[in-house]
Amino acid sequence: MRNRLLIITTAGSCLLFANASALARTVDEIKQCIEGNVPDLSATQTILMRTVDRAGEASETRSRILWKRSEGENGRLLLRVIDPPTRRGAALLIIQRSKDEVEFYLHLPELRKTRRVARQSIQGSMFGTDLSYEDFQRVQQMAEDSRVELGAEGELDGRKVYTLKATLDEGSTYQRSVTLVDQERCLPLRSEFYESGEKPRKVITLKEDRITKESFGWLPREIRIEDLEEGTHTEIIVEEFDAASEVLDADLSVAQLETAGR
């Protein structure tokens, strides 16, 4: 699957697939339908991540995101923290070279250096939120699981949905996931991620009244990620989105990460 920008922004025309979604009966057809909700080449956006801890205390991080499909790759994404001042300058670069090869590079101003995030460290907290690097990768749909099965059709809040059941690849924090995909708009309305047992560890949902129709497809403007074990949650709110802006390859290189993080 080609990566999506913000779950969801999770290239082509959505209308074709939306009209044909009722005919989608295979996993590949549903994945292709979902891919219709991504800008063709590039996009920029400003997001607010609001994290609420177990005691109800909230903290906020505002970031600027640049995204582009690069030749020979599935895509690149740069997240740059712009607020609060204590985190300003921190930056994360994700390079999805192929389905099986995704690289993470982190720049922290206080360390004055850029480092590659090791695969075994992707479960660590990202910029003070309760999202791990893997969670963010999945929210951005820059991950593709090879073992996916189609479950029973159903309904969620009055909308007809497909059910996708995935056994997650080695190296993931989670063992499996279950995703409910809106049949009409081809959006993953709810995703559950399981570490073990029958209770999900984390749940990702879209806020229905914050989904807007754009020229390229459907754009979720508010996403909620709940950690059921820790009793915390993070809301990702899209404040600005521009699918017409040009993003240069040079803006999304490891060499420029420190500059971009200032």
Averaged pLDDT, 136-144: 78
Residue 73: alpha-carbon gap to chain centroid: 17
In a domain, residue 258? The reply is: no
Q: What is the pLDDT of residue 74?
A: 76
Q: What integer pLDDT is reported at residue 122 of this predicted model?
A: 77
Comparing CA positions, the residue from 226, 224, 232 lying closest to residue 58 is: 232
125 and 108 Cβ atoms separated by less than 8 Å: no
Binning pLDDT at 50, 70 and 90, where does residue 23 land?
very low
Q: Which residue has the higher pLDDT, 162 or 126?
A: 162
Across the range 216-233, mean pLDDT stands at 95
Q: Is residue 8 part of a domain?
A: no
* 5 in any annotated domain: no
Q: Is 27 helix (H, G, I), strand (E, B) or coil?
A: helix
Half-sphere exposure of 85 (CA within 13 A, CB side): 0
Residue 149's CATH number = 2.50.20.10
CA distance 257 to 260: 5
Our count of domains for the chain comes to: 1
pLDDT in the model for residue 260? 52
pLDDT band, very low/low/confident/very high, at 160 (cuts 50, 70, 90): very high
Q: Does 77 fall in a domain?
A: yes
| Helix/strand/coil percentages in the chain, nearest 5 | 15, 40, 40
**DSSP letter, residue 197:** S
Asked, for residue 112, whether it belongs to a domain, the answer is yes
* Residues 6 or more apart in contact with residue 250 via CB below 8 angstroms: 256
Determine contact, residues 167/146, Cβ cutoff 8 Å: no
Answer yes or no: is 259 within a domain.
Answer: no
What are the tens digits of pLDDT across the range 177-221?
999 999 999 999 999 999 988 999 999 999 999 999 999 999 999
Q: Residue 118: pLDDT band by 50, 70, 90 thresholds?
A: confident
Cα separation of 254 and 42, whole Å? Answer: 18
230 falls within a domain: yes
As beta bridge partners, residue 239 has none
pLDDT tens profile 4-20:
444 434 333 333 333 34
Which residue's structure tokens are 């990202």?
126
Read off the pLDDT of residues 54-66 as tens digits, 9 standing for 90 and up.
999 999 999 999 9
pLDDT, average across residues 130-159: 86
**pLDDT in the model for residue 35:** 84
Domain interval for residue 71: 14-251
| Residue at 256 is within a domain | no
User: What number of other Cβ atoms are within 10 A of residue 234's Cβ?
Assistant: 25
Which letter does DSSP use for residue 3 in this model?
P
Q: What is the pLDDT of residue 126?
A: 86
Structural contact between residues 221 and 238, judged by C-beta atoms closer than 8 angstroms: yes
Whole-number average pLDDT of the chain: 85
